């Protein structure tokens, strides 16, 4: 059963599918009104939105690589739901390939979405959050930020930068009531990567390295994200929360 309506809007970038869609639905289940900021402007596309949650889902067209688009979408969302209460910086881009053959323009394209996009969304959200008495920014990082991963240089570098952005903004904005957290998932099975992760060789390699013995699910990540917005733990700011089944700390 959906919970009672909460005050303010949570804006979620890249909410059409994957972790963004799961997080948007989980937030709506918990009573939040969610602005789904996507390039197509169609909201959640991966799965049907339950009728009881539909009134809490707002669709806004937004390209995080376009500053004007970000500013417009966030302002429009704030006006439709009693002010901006929080942001989930989820939009991301991934390129995989040998580093010696990685084109500069491909490297920069990853940074444009995963790093500059996160910065721009946070910067444009800042005055809107202030106007609403503060709030929370959750950035979607990755456990790749502390690993050496072959053929993932651009992506790993971008997620390390997201952690740094999180720490800097948390320190700078803490006194103004804005909390900034970085959620760093491990291997999470989504519709986007299911084919790759279902390969026998991939599973044979990965599963023994994950102490819990399985891949994560989008709903698990979504529940963590929703709890952060729900509980408003302002004293826990600037942190990176790893959710990888203990993979990176296993010895």
How much is the pLDDT for 7?
79
Percent of the chain with pLDDT over 90: 92
The domains of the chain are located at 9-242
Q: What is the mean pLDDT of residues 60-82?
A: 95
Instruction: Please state the CATH superfamily assignment of the domain spanning residues 9-242 in this structure.
Output: NAD(P)-binding Rossmann-like Domain (3.40.50.720)
Q: What is the pTM of this model?
A: 0.95
How much is the pLDDT for 88?
98
Residues 97 and 209: their CA atoms lie apart, in Å, by: 22
Residues 39 and 30: their CA atoms lie apart, in Å, by: 25
Three-class SS of residue 235? coil
pLDDT classification of 144: cutoffs 50, 70, 90: very high
Percent of the chain with pLDDT over 70: 98
Q: What is the DSSP string of 67-116?
A: HHHHHHHHHHHHHHTTSEEEEEE-------S-GGG--HHHHHHHHIIIII
Residues 55 and 39: their CA atoms lie apart, in Å, by: 21
Region of 60 please: left (phi>0), alpha (psi -120 to 50) or beta. beta
Q: What is the mean pLDDT of the chain?
A: 95
How much is the pLDDT for 194?
85
Q: What is the mean pLDDT of residues 162-170?
A: 98
Give the active site residues. Answer: 155
How much is the pLDDT for 215?
96
């Amino acid at each position: 059963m959906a919970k009672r309506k909460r005050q303010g809007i949570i804006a979620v970038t890249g909410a059409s599918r994957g972790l963004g869609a799961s997080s948007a639905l989980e937030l709506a289940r918990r009573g939040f009104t969610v602005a789904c900021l996507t390039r197509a402007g169609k909201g959640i596309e991966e799965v049907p939105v339950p009728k009881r949650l539909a009134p809490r889902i707002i669709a806004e067209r937004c390209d995080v690589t376009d500053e004007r688009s970000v500013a417009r979408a966030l302002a429009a969302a704030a006006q439709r739901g009693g002010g901006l209460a929080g942001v989930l910086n989820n939009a991301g881009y991934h390129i995989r390939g040998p580093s010696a053959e990685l084109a500069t323009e491909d490297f920069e394209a990853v940074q444009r979405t995963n790093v500059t996009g996160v910065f721009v969304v946070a910067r444009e959200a800042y005055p809107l959050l202030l106007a609403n008495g503060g709030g929370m920014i959750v950035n979607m990082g990755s456990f790749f930020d502390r690993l050496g991963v072959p053929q993932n240089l651009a992506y790993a570098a971008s997620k390390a930068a997201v952690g740094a952005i999180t720490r800097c903004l948390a320190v700078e904005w803490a006194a103004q009531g804005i909390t900034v957290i970085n959620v760093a998932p491990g291997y999470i099975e989504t519709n986007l990567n299911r084919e790759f992760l279902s390969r026998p060789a991939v599973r044979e390699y990965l599963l023994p390295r994950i102490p819990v013995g399985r891949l994560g699910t989008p709903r698990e990540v979504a529940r963590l994200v929703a709890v952060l917005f729900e509980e408003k733990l302002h004293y826990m700011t600037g942190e990176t929360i790893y959710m990888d089944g203990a993979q990176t700390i296993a010895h």
